[in-house]
Structure 1
Amino acid sequence: MNTATDSPPAPSRLALYLDLIRWNRPAGWLLLLWPTLAALWLAAGGFPGWHLLIVFTLGTILMRSAGCCVNDVADRDFDRFVKRTAQRPVTSGALPVRNALAFGALLALAAFGLVLTTNALTIALSFAALAITIAYPYAKRFVSMPQAVLGVAFSFGIPMAFAAVQGAVPALAWWLLFGNLFWVLAYDTEYAMVDRDDDLRIGIKTSAITLGRFDVAAVMGFYGLYLLTWGVLGFGQGLGWVFALGLAAAAAQAAWHWTLIRDRAREGCFKAFRLNHWVGLAVFAGIVTELALRAA
């Protein structure tokens, strides 16, 4: 038998589920994790304790994975026309819709089990977070800037973190969510720029299409608004020069991303999106280090 011409073996069921939740692409859940953990530290004025750290870290990973299941089911009829997504397990038919939904529900239930170890307000907010997560994939059919809906979904860990620590959601939490929304608009517009031609052909609405030739300028504006908002809020909480260094590191990365996306090449736009979690890490590191030095 000439094995060189044989078809590659079908992926295992485990491999299909891992591909469904993008297990080998952690950038997605890191984008959710850094602002959530930053909110935890700000709410607690320092280290929030191992219990909440574990709850929010695992909960973020589980809910992002559940969101991937919902997204792939909702977009399966569109994804088959996009080269980058055509081979996703649900889209290709390798994984039945009912299996993907059942797995997503199981992941969401596991995340809810973690939330149950917190308090009543955090539990109540988790239902709103779930509703927004489910709504986002369908927003692309009706909303010209669906990335704004994603921004709320990807930022909702912020008020939940304050609720878990303080038993209340102060104005600071909502302003942090508002600022983080601009970061999500920045990196998800970069992501949308990758698929713009395919999305135009199949009729999907995205910020990259809505912004048109102003897409690059808008992305840089979104970065600026994110860093400005978080900077004002952080300095208002008494954070100092170490926090400023974190913001500067994030701003330097945003400037580098401009060089990647300015010619709108797919490879550059996707690289900018994929490496965006380092922007969030820089801001988080500045907050954590500043608060640790204050406590020392």
Structure 2
Amino acid sequence: MSSSDEESLVNAMKSIFAYRNNVVIRREVEEQNEAQSSRRKRRYIHRDRVEAHNRLMKDYFVQDPKYPPEYFKRRYRMSQSLLEKIIEGILSYSTRPNAPKWFTYFQQRPDACGVLGVSTILKITSAIRQLAYGDSPDLFDEYLQISERTSRESLQNFTRCIIDLYGNVYMREPTEDDIRRLYHKHEELHGFPGMLGSIDCMHWTWGKCPNAWKGHFTRGDHGYPTIMLESVASYDNWIWHAYFGMVGSNNDLNVLNASPLFDSLLTDTAPQVPYKIGDVDFDRGYYLADEIYPSWASFVKGFSSVVDAKKEILYKETICSS
């Protein structure tokens, strides 16, 4: 082969390799551009919100619903009348001037194309189902046709609305009028003059506890994560004190030492509502507790059962001595 033929062959091979490299480079650039453009484009999922709203209304809120009232109460954790009252309160408050954005969030409004957004009942149902079952926000997408982000925002705004609407009514310490009413009712119903309510702690099972926190919230006698909840309830199920969330293996005494139940009593700002047991006058009421609580003047411990007059007299003497 002559030198000219070898030179021609080398040039041809160089052209082939150059062409191949250009094709590969061009293909890689095109793939990168497509990937970048796909990331920039927002994927739209068509959700039939009208159908979801109508289906939910037929299931629970029409004259003759598909599911009976006991199903409604189990899945919403409340009666239908109470839910309707909450919805009415949120919507009426959202129409006030300068209403917070978490109230106006539940108003159904059209978007820029004139299409109505998610209805109020769908957003509130998503929030309540998350609270009732403790599931992730995207679990109800198929039934309610709501995205994960909308479900999460619904839960956050719903809790803020509830705190603003009912926090000052229910989650508060009793006033002097409330204390007198509690005195009267507890004495009338149970024969306990001066009782404010019953105090106790319970272990609230935390099924969705993160793995990194399970060691902090698992007690040996339970074997699964729990959160200690301390609450005070009166005769009408008014829970005006609730304290929970402490880290560690706790019992009733640990939670009591950290809870703010007696802060107002220690700072001498608690209401003084006197009452009388026999011939003894008292300034402040007491809580009915079990045996684990300390022997303080604010606690009266009950017997397992009062079956005769002797134990009833002994119990009343215990109250007077406290």
Query: Larger relative CO (CA 8 A, sep 6+): 1 or 2?
Result: 1
Which of these two proteins has the greater Rg computed from alpha carbons? Answer: 2
**TM-score normalised according to structure 2 size:** 0.25
Q: Which has the higher strand share?
A: 2
**TM-score normalised according to structure 1 size:** 0.26
Q: Which has the higher helix share?
A: 1
